[in-house]
A and B are shown apart, each in its own frame.
Chain A
Amino acid sequence: MAKAQPRILVVTDSRDTRTLLEFALSEAGLQVFSAPSKKSALLQIDVVIPHVIVLDSCAPGIVEEDTLHRIREHSTVPVIVLNGVNNPTRRASLEADVAAYLPQPLDVQELYARIQHLLPQ
């Protein structure tokens, strides 16, 4: 039986970054859904049931802690945070909820490798 394609939800307000990740990650064999806002992300989580969420923390209306908290109310899906907080103390308090932090500009190869690592075997 063919294995179902892993589903990734990309949350960022940058349309160009969404399009880039949609394109690059689908080329790599992932099924990509994208959300331009926290609201859209929360709506999609229950429908899409993603295996991994990629969250751009600095987009307006996407406050990292808040969005993470809301995501956690819905599911235990691993979250990769783009940009992320620079303050190590605040960062440590979020550690439990974040699978990885990646800086911008994003290295798409690295993102792909991290996603692969987080997907259920």
Chain B
Amino acid sequence: MQTQPAAILIVDDREENRDLLMRRLRPQGYYLATAENGRQALELLREHPFDLVLLDIMMPEMNGYQVLEQMKADPVLCHLPVIVISAVNEIESVAQCIELGAEDYLSKPFNRVLLHARIGNALEKKRLHDQEQAYREELEAAHQTKNRAILAIAHELRNFLTPIGGYLDLLRSGLAGAISEEQAQLVQIVWANAQRVKSLLVDLNDVPRIATGQLQLQPEVVSVADIVSEVVDALEARVNSKQQTLLVNVPQDLPAVWADRTRLIQVLMNLVSNAHKYTPPKGEIRVSAERVEDAPPVVRLTIEDNGLGIAPEDQGNIFAEFFRSADEQVRREPGVGLGLSITRRLVELQGGRISFESVFRQGTKFHFTVPVVEG
């Protein structure tokens, strides 16, 4: 911590008052400066960093009230503590100064103990405020560094995945020459892992953007039926591979929604793919949509499965970043716990809400809403 002496500005139009305070305070080792009137005080305050102002109220040219008002209106000076100096019979004026934002007051003639105690308190409060401010700035800088690092790493890794995925595709397709069935299986394992890395990197890319509010959505008129069928098509092979049933119920007359198409697909993809992952083979997944006459009206999508369910102790945490259940059956599926936190943010950023009901080992039902296109 800095051990620099505190800087105090004494503002009083009467020289004998300024001298008296100087004499009393100098032995404490403070850095002391004086101003004869409000205008001079404000000039000094704007040029030098002070820790405390001792302010007389009745001064010619610019009085204590005006100084206080100007200080409180200044983004830099508004945090600087002010102790008002008053005569004993000036209690009304003191109250007015406190209302204007003064920290404390001292009455003349000065009581030595009170003088030092109140100055000490005000300075300590200022020191804590400055310290907190410094921590806040440090924290903010650390956050930004972290976010930049995440983005830079995700970016680099995505670039590396182009040749990895591309060459694997060549091997898989046989374009690079025939490979044995056993080799094909090995290639398939590498490929599946590369896919996981890829989807993790896509998620990682969203984390800092969502955290800093930099994620820019491009909402448009979107048909829910289109989105649902796109997601179902993309996941069909995976669902079939576990012999699961995927039932879709989207009414024909459903109104269009106002959403970022890509992000809406991402949300639905996440929820249906979770349903698929956390439902045993031969299980059932239902995707449905309905109009709800809320204010404003929304389309509510429901993704229901008869899978593992969410353990009661996990239910309060599933939307937290990097949360992973301790449930062994859940842990069999790879993941880092980003999907649902991103999903929730994406739903909320588009003006919707997400919720769920789950019975452990019986199944889970997620609902989310999207605003209907007005008019």
Q: Given A27-B175, A88-B218, A105-B198, are A20 and B159 also a contact pair (CB < 8 Å)? A: no
Beta-carbon contacts under 8 Å, A7-29 to B? 14, 16-17, 19-21, 23-24, 27
How far does the alpha carbon of A82 sit from the alpha carbon of B164 in the complex, in Å? Answer: 16
Beta-carbon contacts under 8 Å, A68-105 to B? 82-83, 87-88, 103-105
How far does the alpha carbon of A105 sit from the alpha carbon of B169 in the complex, in Å? Answer: 12
Is B175 in contact with A20, judged by CB distance below 8 angstroms?
no
Name the A residues within 8 Å of B155 (CB-CB): 58, 83
Name the A residues within 8 Å of B159 (CB-CB): 14, 17, 58, 83, 104-105
Is B163 in contact with A14, judged by CB distance below 8 angstroms?
yes
Is B170 in contact with A103, judged by CB distance below 8 angstroms?
no
CB distance from B237 to the nearest CB of A (A): 15
Besides A24-B175, A105-B164, 5 more A-B contacts (Cβ < 8 Å) are A17-B159, A87-B216, A103-B158, A104-B161, A108-B166
Cβ contact of B162, chosen from A23, A88, A104, A109, cutoff 8 A: A104
B281 within 8 A of partner (CB): no
A48 within 8 A of partner (CB): no
Q: How many residues does chain B have at the interface if contact means C-beta atoms less than 8 Å apart?
A: 18
Closest to A18 in B: B163
A63 within 8 A of partner (CB): no
B337 within 8 A of partner (CB): no
Is B170 in contact with A17, judged by CB distance below 8 angstroms?
no
Is B170 in contact with A23, judged by CB distance below 8 angstroms?
yes
Name the A residues within 8 Å of B163 (CB-CB): 14, 16-17, 19-20
A119 within 8 A of partner (CB): no
A49 within 8 A of partner (CB): no
B165 within 8 A of partner (CB): yes
How far does the alpha carbon of A105 sit from the alpha carbon of B165 in the complex, in Å? Answer: 7
Cβ contact of A106, chosen from B162, B170, B175, B218, cutoff 8 A: B162
How far does the alpha carbon of A24 sit from the alpha carbon of B169 in the complex, in Å? Answer: 9
Q: Mark A19-44, 1 if CB is under 8 A from B, else 0.
A: 11101100100000000000000000
Q: Which residues of B does A touch, CB under 8 Å?
A: 155, 158-167, 169-170, 175-176, 198, 216, 218
The 8 closest A-B pairs by CB, nearest first: A105-B161, A16-B163, A20-B166, A105-B162, A106-B162, A104-B158, A20-B163, A105-B165
The SS class assigned to the B binding surface is: helix
Closest to B151 in A: A86
Name the A residues within 8 Å of B165 (CB-CB): 105-107
CB distance from B205 to the nearest CB of A (A): 9
Cβ contact of B166, chosen from A24, A58, A83, cutoff 8 A: A24
Closest to B175 in A: A27
25 examples of A-B residue contacts, CB within 8 angstroms: A14-B163, A16-B163, A17-B159, A17-B163, A17-B166, A19-B163, A20-B162, A20-B163, A20-B167, A21-B166, A23-B175, A24-B169, A24-B170, A58-B155, A83-B155, A103-B158, A105-B158, A105-B160, A105-B165, A105-B198, A106-B162, A106-B165, A106-B166, A107-B165, A109-B169
How far does the alpha carbon of A94 sit from the alpha carbon of B66 in the complex, in Å? Answer: 53
Name the B residues within 8 Å of A23 (CB-CB): 170, 175-176
Is A108 in contact with B169, judged by CB distance below 8 angstroms?
yes
How far does the alpha carbon of A59 sit from the alpha carbon of B16 in the complex, in Å? Answer: 71
How far does the alpha carbon of A16 sit from the alpha carbon of B163 in the complex, in Å? Answer: 6
Name the A residues within 8 Å of B218 (CB-CB): 88
Q: Given A23-B170, A58-B155, are A17 and B162 also a contact pair (CB < 8 Å)? A: yes
Is B175 in contact with A14, judged by CB distance below 8 angstroms?
no
Name the B residues within 8 Å of A20 (CB-CB): 162-163, 166-167, 170
Name the B residues within 8 Å of A104 (CB-CB): 158-159, 161-162
How far does the alpha carbon of A20 sit from the alpha carbon of B102 in the complex, in Å? Answer: 70
CB distance from B136 to the nearest CB of A (A): 27
CB distance from B259 to the nearest CB of A (A): 16
Is A14 in contact with B162, judged by CB distance below 8 angstroms?
yes
Name the B residues within 8 Å of A16 (CB-CB): 162-163
How far does the alpha carbon of A106 sit from the alpha carbon of B160 in the complex, in Å? Answer: 10
Closest to B198 in A: A105
CB distance from B261 to the nearest CB of A (A): 13
Name the B residues within 8 Å of A82 (CB-CB): 162
How far does the alpha carbon of A103 sit from the alpha carbon of B162 in the complex, in Å? Answer: 10
- Residue among B160, B162, B170, B198 with most chain A CB within 10 A: B162
CB distance from A26 to the nearest CB of B (A): 10
How far does the alpha carbon of A28 sit from the alpha carbon of B163 in the complex, in Å? Answer: 17
CB distance from A13 to the nearest CB of B (A): 10
